[in-house]
């Protein structure tokens, strides 16, 4: 780091993304991307005429895409805000609803960006341990009077809590914002979008990266009551009003309207997940109950790091977290059946 870096950032540890090899020689099961191409409607929307319009700024209000998202979820446009990936939405949330007097609470094992954002913005973090079995206890968050951020389903465990638990957390913290990060909800979780109509302190965040095959386009959104969306737009317009490019807006609109392709690809992921879990269990793995497009698995005799290195040597990338309570496990993205068979064949060599 340089001698010019602000003192408040000297201790900042940035988020570490999964490996992104550019040679594509690996079976890539490490960053929870979809193995399927974007919807054909997306490809059709991104035509040469639209590319020629890149000389113009994108719509700062993102009207068409916002309306498409609102229509899909049964809310109004005033209840939706778009971001450059859900990470940007989460960043806006930390800026808007946390400060020196309002800490943020989140689980000790969850999405790594929560801790990074708290550190970046100088917010006190209340880190609440998951239970021994990696489940989240809703009672730990009831009445704590802090901004609360919960990934549901959780990453990297893949486990989920019920809508009843979410409602209990929101209702017992009426004067604080409760954020439910639903990046993986389409693969088996229950969305809390409907609860945003009942609880004015609830924000649901989702992404187009996983179930709608647009990880490279960078598009996320939040659903909440109008006042909270206004707050988030205030931060957005004070940061970068043109945060979503023209082509991504078109891609997002086309993707969310193509429900048939969404349902087809989602079903294939869920089917391949069930197959993978069954095959891993035959090989002496313990697999947590996943509601996501990945599984979190540990072998009864071989450590996580050894398996990770062995798989990489055999051309398969998975995610290994070298941290306490996680280092026995691998997080394995669910891909095509062919990709999962390649994983299993590599595991058989190692085992």
The C-alpha atoms of residue 217 and residue 88 are separated, in whole angstroms, by 13
- Looking only at the bridges linking them, the beta strands covering 178-181 and 202-207 are parallel
The answer as to whether 215 is a domain residue is yes
Does residue 48 share a domain with residue 114? Answer: yes
Residue 217 tokens, joined:
């386009």
Got the DSSP string for 68-111? HHHHHHT--GGGEEEESSHHHHHHHHHHHH-BTTB-EEEESSS-
Burial of 56 (0-12, 13-18, 19+ CB in 10 A): exposed
Residue 198 tokens, joined:
């009942």
Contacts of 114-122 spanning 24+ positions with Cβ under 8 A: 114/90, 114/149, 116/12, 116/13, 116/14, 116/15, 117/90, 117/91, 118/94, 119/11, 119/12, 119/13, 120/9, 120/12, 120/94, 121/94, 121/95, 122/8
Does residue 314 share a domain with residue 235? Answer: no
Does residue 165 share a domain with residue 264? Answer: no
pLDDT tens figures, 289-344: 999 999 999 999 999 999 999 999 999 999 999 999 999 999 999 999 999 999 99
CATH number of the domain within which 113 lies: 3.40.640.10
The answer as to whether 111 is a domain residue is yes
Question: For 78-105, what is the mean pLDDT?
Answer: 97
Residue 246 tokens, joined:
């023209």
Whether the predicted model's global pTM rises above the 0.75 cut: yes
**Weakest mean pLDDT among 4-8, 42-46, 132-136, 343-347:** 4-8
The C-alpha atoms of residue 312 and residue 330 are separated, in whole angstroms, by 12
Confidence of residue 24 (pLDDT cuts 50, 70, 90): low
Does residue 215 share a domain with residue 270? Answer: no
Higher pLDDT, 24 or 37: 37
Q: Whole domain around residue 231: which residue ranges? A: 40-258
Point out the domain boundary residue: 191, 224, 258: 258
Calculate helix-pair angle for 86-97, 226-239, nearest 10 degrees.
100
Q: What is the per-residue pLDDT for 25? A: 83
Point out the domain boundary residue: 235, 258, 281: 258
Q: Count the domains in the chain.
A: 2
DSSP SS3 for 29: coil
The answer to whether residues 318 and 311 touch, using CB atoms and an 8 Å cutoff, is yes
Alpha carbon 279 to its chain's center: 26
DSSP SS3 for 344: helix
Q: Please check the confidence at residue 275 and state whether its pLDDT lies above 90.
A: yes
Burial of 124 (0-12, 13-18, 19+ CB in 10 A): middle
The answer to whether residues 26 and 315 touch, using CB atoms and an 8 Å cutoff, is yes
CATH number of the domain within which 283 lies: 3.90.1150.10
Does residue 92 share a domain with residue 193? Answer: yes
The answer as to whether 207 is a domain residue is yes
DSSP SS3 for 148: strand
Does residue 221 share a domain with residue 97? Answer: yes
- Contacts of residue 76, Cβ cutoff 8 Å, sequence gap at least 6: 70, 226
Does residue 113 share a domain with residue 54? Answer: yes
Q: What is the per-residue pLDDT for 3? A: 86
The answer as to whether 1 is a domain residue is no
Point out the domain boundary residue: 207, 238, 258: 258
The answer as to whether 62 is a domain residue is yes
pLDDT tens figures, 179-232: 999 999 999 999 999 999 999 999 999 999 999 999 999 999 999 999 999 999
Beta bridge partners of 204: 180, 223
């Amino acid at each position: 780091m340089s001698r010019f870096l602000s003192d408040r950032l000297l201790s900042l540890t940035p988020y570490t993304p999964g490996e992104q090899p550019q040679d594509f020689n690996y079976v890539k099961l490490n960053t929870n991307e979809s193995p399927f191409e974007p919807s054909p409607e997306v490809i059709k929307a991104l035509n040469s005429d639209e590319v020629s319009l890149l000389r113009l700024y994108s719509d700062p209000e993102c009207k068409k895409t916002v309306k498409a998202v609102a229509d899909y979820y049964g809310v109004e446009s005033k209840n939706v805000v778009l971001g450059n990936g859900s990470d940007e939405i989460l960043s806006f949330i930390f800026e808007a609803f946390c400060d020196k007097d309002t800490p943020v609470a989140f689980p000790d094992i969850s999405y790594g960006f929560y801790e990074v954002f708290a550190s970046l913005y100088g917010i006190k973090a209340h880190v609440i341990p998951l239970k021994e079995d990696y489940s989240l206890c809703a009672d730990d968050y009831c009445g704590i009077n802090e901004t609360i951020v919960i990934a549901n389903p959780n990453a990297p465990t893949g486990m989920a809590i019920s809508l009843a638990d979410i409602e209990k957390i929101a209702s017992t913290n009426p004067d604080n914002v409760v954020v439910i990060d639903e990046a993986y909800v389409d693969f088996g979780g229950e969305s809390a979008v409907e609860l945003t109509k009942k609880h004015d302190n609830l924000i649901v965040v989702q992404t187009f990266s996983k179930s709608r095959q647009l990880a490279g386009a960078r598009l996320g959104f939040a659903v909440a009551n109008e006042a909270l969306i206004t707050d988030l737009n205030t931060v957005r317009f004070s940061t970068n009003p043109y945060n979503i490019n023209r082509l991504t807006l078109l891609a997002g609109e086309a993707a969310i309207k193509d429900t048939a392709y969404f349902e087809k690809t989602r079903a294939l992921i869920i089917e391949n997940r069930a197959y993978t879990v069954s095959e891993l269990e035959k090989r002496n793995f313990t697999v947590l109950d996943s509601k996501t497009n990945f599984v979190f698995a540990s072998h009864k005799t071989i450590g996580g790091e050894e398996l990770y290195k062995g798989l990489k040597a055999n051309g398969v990338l998975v995610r290994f977290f070298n941290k306490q309570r996680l280092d026995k496990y691998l997080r394995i993205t669910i891909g095509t059946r062919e990709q999962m068979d390649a994983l299993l064949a590599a595991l058989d060599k190692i085992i």
